[in-house]
Structure 1
Amino acid sequence: MNKKWFSVSMILALIFSLLVPVGALSAVDNDNVYQRETGSLMIHKYSLEADEMDDGVEGNGEVEQFVPSDAEPLEGVTFKITRTHSFNPFTDEWSEDPGAPIEVITDSTGVALFGNLPLGRYMVEETDGPDFVNLNEDTYYVDIPMTNEEGTELNYDVHIFPKNDVIRGSVNLFKMDRYESALEGVKFALYKVVDDGEDQLINGELMTDAYGKIHVDELMYGDYYFIELEPANGYVGTGETMHSFSVESSGEVDPVWVTNYKIPEIDKQVNGGDSLEINREENFTYTLHIDLPGDIGSYNSFVISDQLDPMLHFEGVNFVEADGVDVESALSFDNTNNLLSWSATDFSALSGKSELIISFDASIMNDAEGAIENKGELEFENEYEVDGDVESDITTVTPTIGSIQVTKFAKDDDPETANPLDGAKFQLKDSEGNDVDGVHSGVNGVFNWDRLDYGTYYLHEVEAPDGYRLLTQPIEIIVGEGDGADGVDVEMNVFNSESDWELPATGGIGTSIFTAIGLALMVLALGLYLRRRNQMA
């Protein structure tokens, strides 16, 4: 019988020990009522979007509590608890009794367990956590044991469910030109930096609005960058340059400013226009006008070139100026096989300037014919390693070439029916008296001078045909166009008079008869004068 009661007693004791929660048991009175001397605190940490943070309910310390469906267990949050008061379960008294801090980090399930805690009041602090959430800076207190909501039971194993809102930031990008005017319609892509993999494309179709603005929100914690995909029309882009920013806290980050500058332009003129007709071997002036970009000071390269036609001869540089200031030393000049180039070497000298002007002279070679086309070219690379090239409009220089054709006739001949006179010789001279192609004998009375520059010429007859008088004065001929000119290809007829007397033979009457007649007239005049004077006296 005693053995039977002993077995029953042991079984009941075992069952009672299994029903008692974790913690030590102590007898408090003679009625065998036991109290726990230790308890536990289990923190269940979750992350949640900021706009859902108010969806939860007040905690009650129980293990079964409401957790929003979108909440995610949050690993890596450091909690520190510090006992501020101790509790004596035998006397039901609380006393100030600071303890040493204890730290635990939440595991992959978001749980931080503080076990075997002496009974008392604990200050709970969140001291560290993942970068992508906002830490809860509030300090709160937990009692162990904790009385339930109904006030009927003590909970020695307290569960709390704090939540952290996920960091979400927003950013504004502003696209402007050098004058801070908004650039609409510029396309960007947005990427998130991934430390151990390929960066994540967030949006590849972002376009600036009428204010040059792109707004992106709901960005998680991390590093980001914009890439400019399509610059505004007429502007140089920023290429593969990353326009970076970071989301480190909730709210709006500092705006990203991206400035575009216009594509530089080049214009070429010849003697102030786009075309010129000029004599061969006569100097004329080419002028290159280059619009300097606002960020020229940060450019990597800036090269102006001009490939002269083989029929042109380079005569020399007149000046290189930027906004009226001599900057020839800021560019390196080269001439290789008629390829003229000016390469910027001192960008600081060009910084802040708006227009670069290069002036140089050239001439047309003597054997050139027809229109000669020419253009300037600009090649560049900006600080973002975006390169490009632009060309000027074509300028044209044309050698002015004329001709003179002279046909020799007798004075009264009709050029339509008469045959030209043969046997004359002519010499053509320019306005400075220089001989042009020697003395021409002509062919059957026709004389030709080809490939003449525009200008004034003088035709001298150096020998007349037999039986005809030699011209005593040169004939002025103006080859060219415009008022006063005889034309580009001048055709003219020259008439000679016949010699209509014969010279007397040597020793003949010669001029004696004319001398006698002259003397007689003089005597007659003298007599008339004397007679008139006597009458007046």
Structure 2
Amino acid sequence: MKRMKKLLTGLLTLAMTLSMMTMTAFAAEPPAKMPTIDFDSSKKGSITIHKYEYNGEAKVTGTGEDNQTPPEGAEPLANVKFKITKIAELSAYYGTDAEAFPTVEAAKGMAAIATFEKATGSDGVATFNELPLGLYLVQETEAPAQITGKVEDFLVSVPMTNATGDDWLYNVHVYPKNSSTYGEVTLQKKGKIGSADATNLKGAQFKLEVQKNPTTWEQVLKNNKGADIGVAGILTTDDYGKITVKDLAPGDYRFVEVKVPENTGYIADLKTAYEFTVAEKDSPDEGATYKAGSILIDGVKVDTAQHPIEVINYKPAVEKEVQDKTTKAWENASADYSVGDTIPYRVTVDVPANIADLKTFTLTDTPEHQTYVDNSLKIYSNAECTTETLVGKYTVTSENSGWKITFDPKDLSSVAGERIYISFKMTLKEGAIVGSTGNTNEINLDYSNKILPDGVDPDPTLPKTDEIKNETTVYTFDIAVEKVDATDNTKLPGVTFDLYRKLSDDAVVGGNVSANPVKGLTGKFEKVETDLTTNSEGKISVPGLANGDYWLVETKTKEGYNLLKNPVNVQIAATYTETTTTETKTDATGKTTTTTIKTITLSNAGDSNNGVFKTVVKNSKGFTLPTTGGIGTFVFTFAGIAMMAAAVILLITGKKKKAE
């Protein structure tokens, strides 16, 4: 009777101990008659651990048998490591003078008889077979990072009584469950070109890293439920520029950019890391300002579903403009000038916000049939080009009739994220192309296409550069004069003209500019050409003229013809239709070039719309006057004397009649 009481006491103690553990093994009170435990040393048992991840409220009492159904929502949990330690023989608790079962804390201090370790598989199961009979301490030694509610250590007796208390279970099944914490984070990728608003950027690539220790980060290939992170650990922004990663265990993470979208020309920032934390526990502050699993940035909770981690890629912008000769307005695509004119240009540069991190930022101007006016280039902070900036922080060198500036990007840090305006002048040279082809002037901006992490690649050729091209076109025209006989269209060589261009009333008189220069020209005029003489075919060509109101004044005509009474007007009034498109392409070397294509169509541009304005000037023959000393002169002289004599006779005769 005494032994039976001790046995019951031991079993009840074990049951009570196990009942305090989270889903540990349980032993029921045995009936009056129980089968005897076989203490034969050859007898073996097993402990099978069914591990689940579960965050629900349901509680299920363990029976030790392999028939328990986990609560709804419980998922098998792999890669949980357990250690079971045999700490005592059962004879000490079931035999003569049986002792009370130890507490878990007491068991931890007992000497180990045998130790076994195993991890759960993908089904969440770990089975320890062929175990010697005894009392075992079960300990969860390692679990996935998301497991924040680990199972407390517990004791298992092998064997133990079944649920009905009428038999011994030599193969014991336990169903411990762990609570977990997960975080979900969203990143928003945007692209910003020049001063334009940032827009969502599809196709940018990132990797996600988790911090293993203060100096080591490791790329995350799968989330903490085993799902792949992107493709081989590379995440790509969707149509809305977003990346969302779910089921992240508590810890410190960071997003690092890997690649910008193809054919965009954005600067890839491979240096900057965007760090965040998945909180392991509720906020320690009163009121729990955040819960476990919240996303923290610099210790502050951020709902990234509503306010994603924002990452911006930058791309510089450049635009070239030419000043209209008449209106003085800046034209995006085209203007017209005469050969020898000084042409004002303006280049607008949007400096990226991360300019100081770049290695290369170079501007090159390449003109056609134009020459840079030395020392005419200056950089301004305003569009009116009145306030200079970056003085002393750049050098202009002449190159192929144009110019080049190679900036030290750090010198541009004072204008990061702002606009600068480069003003300069060109001269239109002899031989400029007349008509619709025009004379282009192109600006090229070369800039680093990546920001590399410090010390990652010592190669001085890295990073590579991308390029932006923008151009304007200067047009010039031709007046073609044909001089002919008014009667039979015979070509008249040797006829000389001066060419004038009418100016506005506020033009300043001086030099080639005068008021009312010749009869028939009223107002202010610029003398463009003098002594234009028709060739053997009676033709004159005056190329290199801008739009304007031109007047031909004949100064010498062919012998036998009369000079023109009035100047001849020739109007050059070509108009432009401009279409602008931008294309970005990446070549085989990885260089991306963004080109603004400006298609310009001329209208009212002379004969056949080719920029040549033709005019035919007709001259008429004059009277044939006799030469000095010829008979013609004698006849006129004699007639004059005769008329005078007749007058005298009439006068004398008249006086005589009056006297009578």
Give the TM-score normalised by the residue count of structure 2. Answer: 0.49
**Residue-by-residue CA offset, 1:354-389 (whole Å, 9 max, x unaligned):** 323222221222123322234333343243769643
Specify the code of the residue in structure 1 equivalent to 2:399: T
**Residue-by-residue CA offset, 1:186-216 (whole Å, 9 max, x unaligned):** 5768778999999565345966476x54434
1:215 corresponds to: 244
- The 1:299–1:111 alpha-carbon spacing in structure 2 relative to 1, beyond 3 Å, is farther
Q: Distance in 1 between matches of 2:175 and 2:441?
A: 78
Match for residue 487 of structure 2 among 416, 434, 444: 416
**Distance apart, 1:110 and its partner CA:** 6.1
Q: Distance in 2 between matches of 1:42 and 1:480?
A: 108
Aligned 1:522-533 pairs, distance under 5 A: none
Aligned 1:379-418 pairs, distance under 5 A: 379-380=446-447, 381-383=449-451, 388-392=466-470, 394-406=471-483, 415-417=486-488
Is 2:509 the counterpart of 1:492? no
SS in 2 for 1:276: strand
Q: Distance in 2 between matches of 1:489 and 1:50?
A: 92
Q: Distance in 1 between matches of 2:528 and 2:97?
A: 139
Specify the code of the residue in structure 2 equivalent to 1:397: V
**Residue-by-residue CA offset, 1:375-429 (whole Å, 9 max, x unaligned):** 333343243769643433x53222333244556x8xxxxx21497899x885858
Q: Distance in 2 between matches of 1:94 and 1:482?
A: 110
Match for residue 173 of structure 1 among 156, 178, 186: 186
**Distance apart, 1:280 and its partner CA:** 0.8
- The 1:81–1:206 alpha-carbon spacing in structure 2 relative to 1, beyond 3 Å, is farther
Specify the code of the residue in structure 2 equivalent to 1:202: I
**Distance apart, 1:284 and its partner CA:** 0.6
**Distance apart, 1:252 and its partner CA:** 5.1
1:450 corresponds to: 541
1:90 corresponds to: 97
Q: Distance in 2 between matches of 1:391 and 1:299?
A: 19
- Conserved in 2, the CA contact under 8 Å of 1:147 and 1:153? no
2:39 corresponds to: 20
**Distance apart, 1:314 and its partner CA:** 1.9
1:107 corresponds to: 118
Specify the code of the residue in structure 1 equivalent to 2:473: T
Is 2:293 the counterpart of 1:251? yes
Aligned 1:514-525 pairs, distance under 5 A: none
Specify the code of the residue in structure 2 equivalent to 1:389: E
Specify the code of the residue in structure 1 equivalent to 2:433: E
**Distance apart, 1:326 and its partner CA:** 1.6
- Conserved in 1, the CA contact under 8 Å of 2:149 and 2:180? no
Aligned 1:129-278 pairs, distance under 5 A: 129-132=142-145, 134=147, 136-137=149-150, 139=152, 142=155, 161=174, 163=176, 165=178, 169-177=182-190, 183=200, 201-204=228-231, 208=238, 213-218=242-247, 231=261, 236=266, 238=268, 251=293, 253-254=295-296, 255=304, 257-261=309-313, 263-271=315-323, 272-273=330-331, 274-278=333-337
Q: Distance in 2 between matches of 1:428 and 1:182?
A: 59
Q: Distance in 2 between matches of 1:296 and 1:140?
A: 57
2:363 corresponds to: 304
- The 1:301–1:247 alpha-carbon spacing in structure 2 relative to 1, beyond 3 Å, is same
Specify the code of the residue in structure 1 equivalent to 2:422: I
- The 1:44–1:343 alpha-carbon spacing in structure 2 relative to 1, beyond 3 Å, is farther
- Conserved in 1, the CA contact under 8 Å of 2:146 and 2:180? yes
Max Rg structure:
1
**Distance apart, 1:236 and its partner CA:** 3.1
SS in 1 for 2:413: helix
- The 1:215–1:405 alpha-carbon spacing in structure 2 relative to 1, beyond 3 Å, is closer
- Conserved in 2, the CA contact under 8 Å of 1:331 and 1:344? yes
- The 1:341–1:148 alpha-carbon spacing in structure 2 relative to 1, beyond 3 Å, is same
2:284 corresponds to: none
2:390 corresponds to: 327
1:378 corresponds to: 445
Is 2:76 the counterpart of 1:49? no
- Conserved in 1, the CA contact under 8 Å of 2:381 and 2:419? yes
2:417 corresponds to: 353
- The 1:18–1:101 alpha-carbon spacing in structure 2 relative to 1, beyond 3 Å, is closer
User: How many residue pairs were aligned?
Assistant: 449
- Conserved in 2, the CA contact under 8 Å of 1:47 and 1:74? no
- Conserved in 2, the CA contact under 8 Å of 1:238 and 1:386? no
- Conserved in 2, the CA contact under 8 Å of 1:77 and 1:128? yes
1:35 corresponds to: none
Q: Distance in 1 between matches of 2:400 and 2:293?
A: 63
**Residue-by-residue CA offset, 1:60-79 (whole Å, 9 max, x unaligned):** 5x586748697467564467
RMSD, aligned α-carbons:
6.2
**Distance apart, 1:334 and its partner CA:** 4.1
- The 1:157–1:215 alpha-carbon spacing in structure 2 relative to 1, beyond 3 Å, is same
Unaligned runs of 5+ in 1: 1-16, 24-39, 410-414, 505-509, 518-537
Q: Distance in 2 between matches of 1:76 and 1:140?
A: 13
**Residue-by-residue CA offset, 1:22-75 (whole Å, 9 max, x unaligned):** 69xxxxxxxxxxxxxxxx9987555323358958x4235x58674869746756
- Conserved in 1, the CA contact under 8 Å of 2:45 and 2:158? no
**Distance apart, 1:432 and its partner CA:** 3.6
- The 1:327–1:115 alpha-carbon spacing in structure 2 relative to 1, beyond 3 Å, is farther
1:58 corresponds to: 61
